């Protein structure tokens, strides 16, 4: 995966800092936004994800979600993750571009994604437990070709 750097932005990071921040952000339970193409123009889907095996894995449902079909038709896509906290001034962004493909249902991976966002399985909403073995739930596997990493955090002025 190519790290896009030296763009002239005031927010460019050196390679070590960029890769470190990328890994930090990928390990946080943040929403990602998957951008795909459709016959009616671009579409954006907020998604839960897990970073494993050099890929971003996103749960989708073949019957109720439209983004798996868009990926099947056009695998080129982008995914953005932003961690913003107005109370601390944190503004960190990681943006990926690449090609995605559909992968079959994987209950173990679904458990890892759900645990990442909801904690221990005993605390999950019953709707999530119910779908663990539903094979209509598949994965979109995004293998990033490029990544842009930015830390636009700012210091807050004292009151």
**97: nearest Cα among 144, 155, 39:** 144
CB 80 within 8 A of CB 35: yes
pTM of the predicted protein model: 0.91
Bigger pLDDT: 19 vs 5:
19
| Angle value at C-alpha 104, between 101 and 107, nearest 5 degrees | 130
Query: Domains of the chain by range and CATH?
Result: 2-151 (2.30.110.10)
Structure tokens at 41: 């123009």
SS3 label, residue 13? coil
pLDDT tens track for 85-99: 999 999 999 999 999
Count CA atoms within 13 Å of residue 109 on its CB side: 22
CB 55 within 8 A of CB 26: no
Structure tokens at 37: 């193409």
pLDDT tens track for 98-122: 999 999 999 999 999 999 999 999 9
């Amino acid at each position: 995966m190519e790290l896009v750097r030296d763009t002239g932005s005031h927010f460019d990071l050196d390679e070590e800092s960029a890769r470190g921040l990328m890994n930090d952000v990928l390990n946080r339970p943040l929403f990602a936004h998957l951008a795909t193409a459709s016959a009616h123009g671009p579409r954006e889907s907020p998604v839960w994800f897990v970073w494993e095996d050099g890929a971003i894995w996103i749960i989708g449902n073949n019957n109720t979600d439209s983004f798996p079909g868009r990926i099947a038709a056009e695998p080129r896509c982008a995914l953005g993750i932003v961690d913003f906290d107005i109370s601390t001034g944190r503004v960190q962004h990681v943006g990926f571009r690449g090609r995605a493909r559909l992968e079959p249902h994987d209950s173990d991976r679904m458990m890892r994604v759900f645990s990442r966002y909801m904690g221990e399985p005993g605390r999950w909403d019953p709707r999530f437990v119910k779908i663990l073995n539903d094979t209509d739930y598949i994965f979109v596997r995004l293998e990033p070709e490029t990544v842009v990493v930015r830390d636009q955090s700012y210091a807050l002025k004292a009151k």
